[in-house]
Amino acid sequence: MLRRFLLCTLLGLSAPAIGFAQDATSRLDQVLERGQLKVCTTGDYKPYSYLRDDGQYEGIDIAMAQSLAQSLGVRVKWIGTTWKSLMADFHSQQCDIAVGGISVSLERQKTAFFSQPLGVDGKIPLVRCQDLKRYETLEQINQPSVRLIEPPGGTNEIFARAHAPKANLILFADNVKIFDQLLSKQADVMITDASEARFQQKHKPGLCAVHPERYLQYSEKAFLLPRDDMAWKSYVDQWLHLSKATGAYDQVVNQWLATPAP
């Protein structure tokens, strides 16, 4: 092995990495060979991923995953997960990709890759419209009298615990019905991504996104990919780049997101 390494070095060739398998197969090759793209998604995060009552998924990232599969000439196999178990399920179930409004974080980056960012989508408050002025800042929200509601296990809960520790935090596991808790006055504020707040503002009269153009925290969204597979990441990134350059991605997004409130 040493002689081969030195010979490759002298000839200016890429030497094989000592201790690594020579015949490692990229996830790209595996997807093409099996004719199937395995996609992890929560199915509870509109407008990115939602599991309808008829058992079909819909949303921005669902459409994009279908587009990725089409570019590869394969079919999609959906694998349900939750925000609390996302990383464990992603690894144990050997998903090729995870989608559904996933925020980029260094903690997730420790054991996985991300695609190139889909865009910036920071945290903002979502409240009843009559309370817009009451919960504009973290100082107003970070009070013991404020009932702050979040789904468990995701970046919303992490943000709430870090930036509003004095608030009365309520963890509500149903990420679809959680918005009705605000409308029924069982909670006062939900801190979530601006895209979700805008979507709920559009579809649930009485709820308003608080300054959706002014993020409380910078955040990016991307697709989750297996770590150390550059061939697969390169393909996904190039497909995503072309989707954005041709306007295909914007067409999908515009079907779901509300325009910013004036």
Fold of 27-118+222-257: D-Maltodextrin-Binding Protein; domain 2 (3.40.190)
Question: Which residues have C-beta within 8 Å of that of residue 52, sequence separation ≥ 6?
Answer: 58
| Rg, the chain, Cα only | 21
Model confidence pLDDT, tens digit, residues 42-94:
999 888 999 999 999 999 999 999 999 999 999 999 999 998 899 998 888 78
Segment 152-180 shows an average pLDDT of: 93
Model confidence pLDDT, tens digit, residues 3-16:
444 444 444 444 44
pLDDT reading at 204 higher than 90: yes
Report yes or no: 123 and 193 within 8 Å, Cβ to Cβ: yes
pLDDT reading at 185 higher than 80: yes
Q: What rounded mean pLDDT belongs to the chain?
A: 89
Using alpha carbons, select from 40, 149, 115 the residue that is nearest to residue 85: 40
Q: Do domains 27-118+222-257 and 121-219 have the same CATH topology?
A: yes
Question: Which of 8-17, 38-47, 115-124, 160-169 shows the lowest mean pLDDT across its residues?
Answer: 8-17
pLDDT of residue 17: 41
Q: Where are the domains of the chain?
A: 27-118+222-257, 121-219
Fold of 121-219: D-Maltodextrin-Binding Protein; domain 2 (3.40.190)
Name the token pair of 122: 């920071």
Count the helix, strand and coil residues of the chain and give each as a percent rounded to the nearest 5. 35, 20, 40
Indicate the pTM of the whole model: 0.73
pLDDT of residue 61: 97
Distance CA 137, CA 134 (A): 8
